[in-house]
Structure 1
Amino acid sequence: MTRVALIDDHESVRLGLEAACARAGTMHVVFSGSTVTEYLDWRAFSAAPPADVVVLDLTLGDGTTVTENVRRLVLDGSSVIIHSVADRPAAVREALAAGAAGVVSKSSRIDDVIAAVRTVAKGEPLNNVEWASAVEGDREFADAQLSARERDVLRLYAAGLPLKVVADRLGVAYSTAKENITRVRVKYVEVGRPAPTKVDLLRRAMEDGLLADSASDAEDIARGR
């Protein structure tokens, strides 16, 4: 069962999501409330483990910022989906930069929201229209100023190839490929978009439009075409 927390200051939204999660049969709503502080206080009091996925409203009524809320939840150990009316792309970009796994519009079908929870619970990045619109609206967000070699290494590594295979395909030493990935991580940290895990690197590569569209594209990159 995927443990889900719902944080939204509109009770009707939470009730609808609770019903949908119950209907899905593979999700259990462990918390439903209006602020991140309420959720973390509940966690501390109950000693419950962090939710696998937190569905978080973009703007809460307690005066907190989306960056603050996302970072607190990610630091606590949960993946975060922003559930938004999607009319504030700058705030959505802020949430993604803070570590949110993705965004799904409140105008989406409830089945799409549940599918998004399933995707994120599996540790996969959520790549949808809302996410793409937010990223495309701000090229500074997507620019970590990677070198051509760093982009090639990231593209293949994020596509799922082991680093040794990446090095072989690009004709460089393993230590060189490893150094490139280290520099990539540092550069993403410098622009406020940390990528400590391979899944995070995949997300960054997708955000920046670097990921090859297919295995054949990856082969072409490796061959320098």
Structure 2
Amino acid sequence: MSRLEDLRVKLENEGLVNVSYIIVNHQGSYSQRKFHLLQESVSEYITVYQQDEQQDDVWTKLNGNKDDFLIYDRCGRLVYHLGLPYSFLSFDYVEESIKTAYCEKKCGNCSYTEPDTDVVCENITKQADEKLAEIEPKPAGQHSHHRNLHRNRHHHQHEGSRHSKNGNHEAPSETQRRHAHGGRRHRVFGHNRHNQTGSQELVDTAPPGEGAETAQDKKL
């Protein structure tokens, strides 16, 4: 859970404010008994939600699996559903997905955005372009279009099912990394092969109109 807190602090320091992080505990009896330990493992800025054993399971309704992240935009629309290996916080997929949901303007100008949102998002794009240029220098005599691919990653449809078999901690290939954030609303990447249970993390943006939401299933 410390990695989620580290990510929260990092994004806040970069100007991504009013992003809410919620962990939804699994409703099984074992997870229920360990609820207080889960609460103690995170800061006061990350909410831990305790499901009632008799209520409909949140993660069944969301079609989520172990270690999934669900990321919603400021209007409550599901933007990304990340499964393994894309949900490992040792990679940057969750971070980049939150930034995309935070900066994406699907409806044009939004009255819920913070005054500095445009500046924050411009800096994010600039840093991403610089990082990409370092990783993939332009070949001599060829025109590089990777920057345009990065800037327009929201407009490329991507199917995550073809990555679902990579269920370990190994990073996806460079091709997968470059296109992992492409696609339309409700993009799903890296489904689990098994329907496993556990507690799950959700990043929600509050108030309405601000931020991005993520859901992850964590086993206690």
Alignment TM-score > 0.5, same fold:
no
Q: Which has the higher helix share?
A: 1
TM superposition score normalised by structure 2: 0.24
TM superposition score normalised by structure 1: 0.23
Q: Give the number of the structure whose alpha-carbon radius of gyration is greater.
A: 1
